[in-house]
């Protein structure tokens, strides 16, 4: 796009996603009408995707500090101290809109973008995770989207040589018109070699490195800040195209240069490309930047300043280099066969000045561009509470045996094995993966040490929809439980806040409620937020997704030479113990979703309440069991309840179990499939000692059975073979994807 200030009509302003009021603010800041390139820069920097204008007010309520937090939200990724002179650097972000339009490239470039966020801070990425949500399997687009997204994640991550070690895949009708692709990367750096993005040093060179700039991805940030309609496929040109082989070269070149003393500041070119990277570097450093756009490496002819600044071409970085180090830096990047171009300098003007063809095409004061970006406390209404659903009411009209119910649950899209997905990812490359996908959390050794990171992602959107506060608490608490079940000490989270249109008060109410619940859980569990991403406008034709605040958690295992039980049964004739209180809560459960005969009951009731004090007490107790070697297996109880957790442990270990129903007033199906929180299933060779320790700690615990055989039996005469269970569990997803 080209043009002058005279071309800026109300229609052009609207096309750039700015409201009339926001454009008036632009006029005030500039003191004149903007040129088209300047308007484009305001447009992307003030988009929801870059400015967080609808969410900043609420995000400030999240706890972000702890003694081990080195850098919280505001940089490319969060940084925590993991001891031994090492830091863990991690973040999760979304590529939802691009992935719906073009699933392979959308997902692939989502992986590439989050990798750059991590290695731009000096970390070598050691693990990838993802949280994927698709529409109902019957929807005509779902199979295509699943296949494309999984192939894109695997294609990019595998080529990069970074293991993809776990994640989530869920299906729900709310995602029919707007899937979610949330990618997470974890990296490790030396604590004294962490790089930040604040530009400094008047006159220092600003350097462009990586791939050449093309026209792909222009207005990608703006596209990601608007809801879809029936014509969304026309936005395919705004989806970036990735090249993982170039990204690998860029990673190695950046890390090689980071080993020197040449870099003052570095920033990846993600959303809004050269615009956001230069503005953020300038603003954080309190300096100005001047570019000659004729020096930017381009791969397409006759690119305008507007296109160069707004392109979201992949595999690119922007750096400020120390004086006299330019030639050394150039030699490194040319060795790796990457572009290296000095395109400008740091100035003392606090302005972004762009020249092209010897003319100034942009001159914007940076501080107000950032500080005066719109920030809205949008109107919101709380989500009306759902009534608690008594077990007897939930089970009215349900006539099914526990064994038949279990088989149906583990063979459903909600709970079936995700093996078809993760087998397409290289999860063993680099040789440090200790625990593969499929358990509560992945475990990756810190290279060259006897310590390891535990990594997980989690969220239960149906809970968040019914009660955002409880859902927000539960998302954080379950991530904490997943880490705890491995024996790891949970340290911090990254979040990916996926919601519908924030201009609808009920959607903002969901956002506000989830933030409230998340904040409470983070404080209660000493589990701060150190990075994250907000993705709004996830809806099509006014129909929004379920509120989905995806949580990525990281914990530390101090010594992998000690006990490290997993979720698999390890031996026969061991006692099975349930930790935590069971009330048989079936509201919003997977059991009701699949088994309720009455459609009004399938998604009825309040979600299970989250007692954060109980979460902390029970979790700390379980972590002690694991690290002390008193538990031979451990698995948290989540979707599907106790019997699903036991079945997953049996399938993982190839050992059956005999489960004894407790002598209480709860209906058997409620006790077996209720989704009460703060619970774990453990196995032990000393049940009496474990139960005594639990009683002393004030932790509810009961023995519920013993391991052994090749059959899972519940009560008297209610059995299913592990082979039948495995066929159901492993069969659905490959069968679905093989269907033409």
DSSP state of 233: G
144 part of the active site: no
Q: Cα(440)–Cα(557) distance, rounded to whole angstroms?
A: 14
For residue 696, what are the contacts with CB-CB under 8 A and spacing of at least 6? none
> 16, 49, 427, 635: which is the annotated catalytic residue?
49
139 part of the active site: no
For residue 333, what are the contacts with CB-CB under 8 A and spacing of at least 6? 209, 253, 257, 339, 340
In DSSP notation, 151-188 reads HHHHHHHHHHT--EEEEEEEE-GGGTTS-EEEEEEEEE
711 is written with which tokens? 């059959």
**Structural element, H or E, at residue 705:** strand 701-707
Question: Strands 124-134 and 164-171: what pairing?
Answer: parallel
The C-alpha angle 676, 679, 681, rounded to 5 degrees, equals 125
DSSP state of 236: G
| Centroid of chain to Cα 135 | 18
475 is written with which tokens? 């998302």
- Residue whose pair of structure tokens reads 């009961």 in the numeric block: 702
User: Half-sphere exposure (CA, 13 Å, Cβ side) for 204?
Assistant: 24
Sheet holding 548-557, edge to edge: 433-435, 442-445, 452-458, 548-557, 489-498, 529-535
Q: Are 626 and 489 in contact, with CB atoms under 8 Å apart?
A: no
Q: Cα(622)–Cα(178) distance, rounded to whole angstroms?
A: 38
Collapsing DSSP to helix, strand or coil, 239 comes out as coil
Q: Are 59 and 52 in contact, with CB atoms under 8 Å apart?
A: yes
**Structural element, H or E, at residue 697:** helix 687-697
> 16, 95, 97, 427: which is the annotated catalytic residue?
95
The C-alpha angle 262, 351, 313, rounded to 5 degrees, equals 60
Hey, which residues are catalytic here? 49, 95
């Amino acid at each position: 796009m080209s043009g002058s200030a005279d071309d800026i009509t109300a229609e052009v302003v609207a096309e750039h996603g700015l409201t009339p009021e926001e454009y008036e603010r632009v006029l005030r800041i500039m003191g004149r009408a903007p040129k088209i390139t300047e308007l484009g820069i305001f447009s992307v920097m003030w988009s929801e995707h870059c400015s967080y204008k609808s969410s900043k007010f609420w995000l400030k309520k999240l706890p972000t500090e702890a003694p081990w937090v080195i850098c919280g939200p505001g940089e490319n990724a969060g940084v925590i101290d993991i001891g031994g002179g090492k830091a863990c650097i991690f973040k999760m972000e979304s590529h939802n809109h691009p992935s719906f339009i073009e699933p392979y490239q959308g997902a692939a470039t989502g992986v590439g973008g989050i990798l750059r966020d991590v290695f731009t801070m000096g970390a070598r990425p050691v693990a990838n995770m993802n949280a994927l949500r698709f529409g109902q399997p019957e929807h005509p687009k779902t199979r295509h989207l699943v296949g494309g997204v999984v192939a894109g994640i695997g294609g990019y991550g595998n080529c990069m040589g970074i293991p993809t070690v776990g994640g989530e895949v869920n299906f729900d009708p709310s995602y029919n018109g707007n899937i979610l692709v949330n990618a997470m990367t974890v990296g490790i750096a030396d604590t004294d070699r962490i790089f930040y993005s604040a530009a400094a040093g008047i006159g220092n060179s600003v350097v462009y490195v990586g791939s050449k700039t093309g026209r792909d991805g222009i207005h990608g940030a703006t596209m990601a800040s608007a809801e879809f309609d029936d014509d969304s496929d026309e936005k395919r040109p705004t989806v970036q195209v990735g090249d993982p082989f170039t990204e690998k070269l860029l990673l190695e070149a950046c890390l090689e240069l980071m080993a020197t003393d040449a870099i003052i500041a570095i920033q990846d070119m993600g959303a809004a490309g050269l615009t956001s990277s230069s503005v953020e570097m300038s603003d954080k450093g309190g300096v100005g930047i001047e570019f000659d756009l004729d020096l930017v490496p381009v791969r397409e002819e006759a690119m305008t300043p507007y296109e160069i600044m707004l392109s979201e071409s992949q595999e690119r970085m922007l750096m400020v280099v120390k004086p006299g180090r330019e030639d050394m830096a150039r030699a490194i990047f040319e060795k790796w066969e990457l572009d290296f171009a000095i395109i400008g300098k740091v100035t003392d003007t606090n302005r972004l000045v762009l020249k092209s063809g010897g003319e100034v095409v942009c001159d914007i004061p940076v501080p107000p561009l950032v500080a005066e970006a719109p920030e809205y406390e949008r109107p919101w209404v709380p989500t009306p509470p759902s009534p608690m659903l008594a077990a007897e009411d939930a089970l009215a009209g349900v006539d099914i045996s526990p064994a038949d119910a279990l088989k149906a649950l583990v063979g459903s899209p909600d709970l079936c094995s995700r093996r078809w997905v993760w087998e397409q990812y290289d999860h063993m490359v680099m040789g440090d993966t200790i625990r593969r996908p499929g358990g509560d959390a992945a475990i990756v050794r810190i290279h060259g040490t006897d310590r390891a990171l535990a990594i997980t992602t989690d969220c239960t959107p149906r809970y968040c929809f019914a009660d955002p506060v409880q859902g927000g608490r539960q998302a954080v608490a379950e991530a904490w439980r997943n880490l705890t079940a491995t024996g790891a000490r949970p340290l911090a989270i990254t979040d990916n806040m996926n919601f519908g249109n924030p201009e609808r008060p009920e959607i903002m109410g969901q956002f506000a409620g989830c933030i409230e619940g998340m904040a409470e859980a983070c404080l209660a569990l000493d589990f701060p937020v150190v990075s994250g991403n907000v993705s709004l406008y996830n809806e099509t034709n006014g129909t929004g997704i379920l509120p989905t605040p995806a949580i990525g958690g990281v914990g530390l295992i101090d010594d992998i030479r000690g006990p490290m039980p997993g979720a698999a049964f390890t031996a026969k004739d061991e006692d099975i113990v349930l930790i935590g209180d069971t009330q048989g809560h079936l509201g919003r459960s997977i059991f009701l979703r699949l088994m309720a005969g009455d459609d009004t009951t399938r998604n009825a009731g309040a979600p299970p309440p989250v007692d954060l004090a109980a979460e902390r007490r029970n979790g700390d107790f379980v972590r002690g069991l694991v690290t002390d070697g008193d538990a031979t297996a451990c698995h948290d109880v989540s979707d599907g309840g106790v019997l699903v957790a036991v079945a997953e442990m049996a399938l993982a270990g190839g050992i059956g179990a005999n489960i004894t129903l407790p002598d209480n007033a709860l209906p058997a199906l409620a006790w077996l499939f209720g989704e009460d929180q703060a619970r774990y299933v453990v196995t032990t060779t000393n049940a009496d000692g474990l139960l005594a320790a639990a009683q002393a700690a004030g932790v509810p615990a009961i023995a519920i059975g013993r391991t052994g055989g090749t059959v899972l039996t519940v009560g008297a005469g209610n059995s299913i073979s592990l082979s039948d269970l495995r066929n159901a569990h492993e069969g659905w997803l490959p069968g679905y994807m093989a269907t033409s």
